Amino acid sequence: MSRIRLSRRNFLKAVGAAGVVTMGAGAIGASQVLGKGTTKGTWDQMPQLIPTVCGMCDARCGVVAYVVGDRLYKLEGNYRHSQSQGRICARGSAGVKLLYDPDRLKYPLKRVGDQLYDQISWEQAFREIGQKLAEIKEKDGPQALAWAVHPDLSELWDRQFMNAYGSPNIFTQSSLGQASMRLASRLTTGWEPVPDLKNSRYVLLFGRNYAESIFYTAATNALLQAKEKGAKIVVIDPRLSRMASQSHEWIPIRPGTDGAMLLAMMNVLVAEDLYDKGFVTANTTGFEQLKGFLADKTPSWAATICDVPAETIRRLAQEVAAARPAALIDPGRHGAWGATYSNSFQTARAALVLNALLGNYGAKGGLLTPPANPLGAFQLPATPPMQAVRADSAGQGQYPLASSKDGTIQVLPEIIDSEQPYPIRALVANHINPARSLPNTAKATRALSKLELLVVIDTYLTDTGLLADYILPESTYLERLDPISPSTYLVSEVALRQPVVKPMYDTKPGYEIIAGIAGAAGLGEYFNFGVNEVIQESLKPMGLSLAGLSREGLWRDSKEVSYGAPAFGTPSGKIELYSRQLEKAGFDPLPVFSPPEALPRELDTFRLVQGRDAAHTGTATQNNAYLHHLSPENQIWISASRAARLGIRSGDEVIVSSPAGEIRIQARVAEGIHPEAVFTTHGFGHGVRTQHLAYHKGVGDNGLTLDRREPVAGAAAAGETIVKVRRA
């Protein structure tokens, strides 16, 4: 047996090897353990959940705020709210970026020079504005004050102020968006129908963009659920909207001619005996006159007008009739007949009448009555009777049927400019941006500059704010307790908008601002109430308390959606296919079609179509960090065929001109647009440097539109705008 000699050399070798092995093992072992884990964030903390109502668009879906400490972490849908059902769109989630936007207005401002502002106290702001208002009333009468508001939930205060002050000139944005449709509904059925999309088997959408405009998450959800169950969805639109991409058929139509197509479809229903005779007999008046009127409105007649094949029109009429009564023409919102063409009112009527022929009012999968408003009405302090008459003659004279509550705001610049019928010296713009939202931006800006007093109440400094004498910062919807929001969807439901964080900076809710101005203008006695009292009064019929409601955030009537022929709010108590009211007022009692202003048949001449984008609400959201990065700019869509002949490629800068002005904008060559149309998204092109993300991104479309009124409801007819396009 030989002994292994442990020489020093061998010993060192062994130790060395052992050392290496140990270190290696240690290294591998260490690498298994070290460095594990992820970064920490607010998601690791316990949040407080506060239900409230979203304010990023007019849908007012119920949302839930996750609050950690005194900071808002994020927003989610409130799964119990019928309008959101737990879902939340991109704009809703982006509310957190509105609340914490560093570009928000922080304190009251007074203009002291061109784009030069002084920070002032609320007390000073109210005092000076009150004083000025008293002076103007003294000099030119109370009607010299106009008030523009995009009503959110505190419309009560805006109207109370104007009533107390004595001016009838309150304007909402209705005539820019939905006035024609609303008046048509009132005169045809007496209320604005709500489509029962989930149960429908066939849905015709004329321009109605459930995928990109005012985002009722529950409606979009219902529509796509219906599609999943086999319902057919057809979109008729000059542009391939995202809604059109998700439908079964996209029918490109010549802009402004939807009315002819609707009449032709009715012609088919009557001629081929496909309409619901029983329903028509029981629930409508004027069918005989309608039938005679429809005789010559054939698909061939409509085909040349609409640029839609006669066969397609006939087929769609047959298909929708085959699916009745769970088949509907969506009553629409803005696009095709809300307030877009001179014929919009009659076109909206045509759609409602066509639905009547399908017998779908009150049917499952058809059009239903809007839910009853369960809120109690707050008894406002009585104001003196109104002496003055409206400056835009809404509700009288040439526009007897136009809403005197909403007015026709698009003619306000003309009134200010011409001082006809009388001068308007002051304007308060609350939650609205007339310098960008009104047609004919150049004219609107000129008129606004002419005012002796312009007061803006808003969350951002806007283009209107740049022209204002006083800019008053409103708290965002996440910092406010607002009057109760009634649902406009299928069930009777109310939701509470309550603050999720304390008001930031030196901001106030809009109603407090109005009450403050009123106090300083000597009208304090008419504002001896606060929002709490209004809320409590509105909750009384339901036996709820504010404290109780703030836990759940909403209350719903336990009654389910009911079907069956509804009551109609018309003089005859039935659906008025032939409207005596219209006849009496001197308008066509039947839904006639008149084409839009003739479009010259030239290669570079187009009809301007304005529309929406899923990331933005009007002019309000372009500075929101999340939404800006989804959609930073707008472009003008031109059809591939025309673009090729004009030598325009995607990305080229083009000059678009109309009688109202000229804009330079980037072109997007698209297959999905009718060759006679160009399309752009509304809301871009802000000129305010302090809106750092939105400043000079994209271009404002209203630089091109004209301030017209359609004859019946007085709605804006911006879709009549004809433009020329050329490469820059």
Partner 1 sequence: MAWGLPIAIYLFLAGAGAGAFLCAVGAEIYSRHTFKPLVHSGTLISGPMVALGMPFLIYDLGMGKVEPWRIFFLFFGNPSSIMSWGAWIISAFVTVSLTLGFLELDFHETWPWLEKRKLHHPKLYRRLSFIKQIMTPIHNAIEPYRVKLLIAGTVLALATTVYTGLLIGIVNSVPLWNSAILPVLFMDSALSTGLAAAVVYAVVQPIEERRLLAHHFFSLNQIHSLMIVIEVLFIFSWLLLSANSSNAANESVHMLMFGNLSLLFWIGIAFFGILDPILIYIYEVLLGKPLMAYGMIVSDGSVLVGGFILRYLALSAAVPVVLF
Partner 2 sequence: MARYGLLVDLSKCTGCASCTVACQAQWELDPEERWLRVEIQDEGTYPSTSQRFLTVQCQHCDDAPCVRVCPTGANYKRKDGLVLIHEGRCIGCKYCVVACPYQARHFNEERGTPGKCRLCDVRIQKGVLPACVLACPSGARYFGDFDDPNSEVSRLLVLKKAKQLRPDLRTGPNIYYVR
DSSP output for 203-257: EEEES--TTTSS--HHHHHHHHHHHHTT-EEEEE-SB--HHHHTSSEEE---TT-
Residue type, 160: Q
Nearer to partner 1, 26 or 573 (CB): 26
Dihedral in degrees, nearest 10, Cα atoms 602, 603, 604, 606:
70
Partner touching 590 among partner 2, partner 1, none, CB below 5 to 8 Å by kind: none
Contact between 673 and partner 2 per CB under 8 A = yes
Smallest separation (angstroms) from partner 1 to the CB of 36: 11
Contact between 37 and partner 2 per CB under 8 A = yes
Contact between 630 and partner 2 per CB under 8 A = yes
Contact between 304 and partner 2 per CB under 8 A = no
**Region 72-101 residues binding partner 2, contact defined as CB under 8 A:** 73-77, 86-90, 92-94, 96-97
Q: Could you give the CA distance from residue 51 to residue 55 in angstroms, rounded to a whole number? A: 13
Tokens of 675: 């060759």
Nearer to partner 1, 25 or 295 (CB): 25
Tokens of 423: 């001068």
Tokens of 359: 């017998």
Partner touching 671 among partner 1, partner 2, none, CB below 5 to 8 Å by kind: partner 2
Partner touching 96 among partner 1, partner 2, none, CB below 5 to 8 Å by kind: partner 2
Yes or no: say if 210 and 243 are a contact pair by the CB < 8 Å rule.
Answer: yes
Nearer to partner 2, 210 or 275 (CB): 210
Number of H helices, E strands in the chain: 25, 27
The dihedral built from the CA positions of residue 394, 399, 402 and 408, taken in this order, carries a sign that is negative
Q: Could you give the CA distance from residue 250 to residue 96 in angstroms, rounded to a whole number? A: 36
Contact between 41 and partner 2 per CB under 8 A = yes
> By CB under 8 A, which span of 107-115, 341-349, 403-411, 667-675 interacts with partner 2?
667-675
Give the interface with partner 1 as residue ranges (CB under 8 A).
27-28, 30-31, 34-35
Residue type, 212: E
Q: Could you give the CA distance from residue 20 to residue 253 in angstroms, rounded to a whole number? A: 80
Nearer to partner 1, 27 or 598 (CB): 27
Q: Could you give the CA distance from residue 718 to residue 412 in angstroms, rounded to a whole number? A: 15
Smallest separation (angstroms) from partner 2 to the CB of 227: 7
Q: Could you give the CA distance from residue 696 to residue 637 in angstroms, rounded to a whole number? A: 19
Tokens of 656: 């678009």
Contact between 338 and partner 2 per CB under 8 A = no
Contact between 250 and partner 2 per CB under 8 A = yes
Smallest separation (angstroms) from partner 2 to the CB of 631: 9
Q: At what angle do helices 155-165 and 510-520 cross, to 10 degrees?
A: 10
Nearer to partner 1, 6 or 34 (CB): 34
Q: CA nearest 64: which of 42, 41, 82, 48?
A: 48
Contact between 35 and partner 2 per CB under 8 A = yes
> By CB under 8 A, which span of 18-26, 508-516, 619-627, 682-690 interacts with partner 2?
619-627
Burial class of residue 24, CB neighbours in 10 A (0-12, 13-18, 19+): exposed
Contacting residue, 2, 3, 9, 44, with partner 2 by CB under 8 A: 44
Task: Write the DSSP symbol of residue 74.
Answer: E
Contact between 675 and partner 2 per CB under 8 A = yes
Partner touching 27 among partner 1, partner 2, none, CB below 5 to 8 Å by kind: partner 1
Contact between 289 and partner 2 per CB under 8 A = no
Smallest separation (angstroms) from partner 2 to the CB of 257: 15
Binding mask 375-414 for partner 2 (x = CB under 8 A): ----------------------------------------
Smallest separation (angstroms) from partner 1 to the CB of 30: 8
Contacting residue, 121, 245, 398, 528, with partner 2 by CB under 8 A: 245
Contact between 27 and partner 2 per CB under 8 A = no
Q: CA nearest 607: which of 639, 633, 635, 634?
A: 639
Contact between 641 and partner 2 per CB under 8 A = yes
Q: How far apart are the first and last CA of the chain?
A: 101
Q: Could you give the CA distance from residue 331 to residue 339 in angstroms, rounded to a whole number? A: 13
Smallest separation (angstroms) from partner 1 to the CB of 24: 8
The dihedral built from the CA positions of residue 214, 217, 219 and 222, taken in this order, carries a sign that is positive
Task: Write the DSSP symbol of residue 71.
Answer: E
Nearer to partner 1, 17 or 30 (CB): 30
Q: Could you give the CA distance from residue 613 to residue 631 in angstroms, rounded to a whole number? A: 8
Smallest separation (angstroms) from partner 2 to the CB of 310: 15
Nearer to partner 2, 610 or 639 (CB): 639
Contact between 36 and partner 2 per CB under 8 A = yes
Smallest separation (angstroms) from partner 1 to the CB of 27: 5
Contact between 316 and partner 2 per CB under 8 A = no
Yes or no: say if 383 and 159 are a contact pair by the CB < 8 Å rule.
Answer: no
DSSP output for 628-661: HHH-----EEEEHHHHHHHT--TT-EEEEEETTE
**Region 576-615 residues binding partner 2, contact defined as CB under 8 A:** 614-615
Q: Could you give the CA distance from residue 47 to residue 64 in angstroms, rounded to a whole number? A: 11
Strand partners, 285: 576
Nearer to partner 2, 196 or 710 (CB): 196
Contacting residue, 386, 585, 592, 640, with partner 2 by CB under 8 A: 640
Nearer to partner 2, 44 or 602 (CB): 44
Nearer to partner 2, 11 or 43 (CB): 43
Task: Write the DSSP symbol of residue 695.
Answer: B
Nearer to partner 1, 33 or 116 (CB): 33
Partner touching 496 among partner 1, partner 2, none, CB below 5 to 8 Å by kind: none
Compute CA 396 distance to the chain's CA centroid, rounded to the nearest angstrom: 28
Query: Whose structure tokens read 């479309």?
Result: 701
Nearer to partner 2, 68 or 546 (CB): 68
Is 33 strand, coil or helix? helix
Q: How many residues does the chain have?
A: 728
Nearer to partner 2, 471 or 670 (CB): 670
Q: Could you give the CA distance from residue 431 to residue 458 in angstroms, rounded to a whole number? A: 5
Nearer to partner 1, 31 or 558 (CB): 31
Nearer to partner 2, 85 or 594 (CB): 85
Q: CB 548: neighbour CB atoms within 10 A? A: 12
The binding site for partner 2 (CB under 8 A) comprises 31, 34-39, 41-44, 73-77, 86-90, 92-94, 96-97, 210-212, 215, 217, 220-221, 224-225, 227-228, 240, 242-246, 250, 252, 614-615, 625-630, 639-641, 670-673, 675
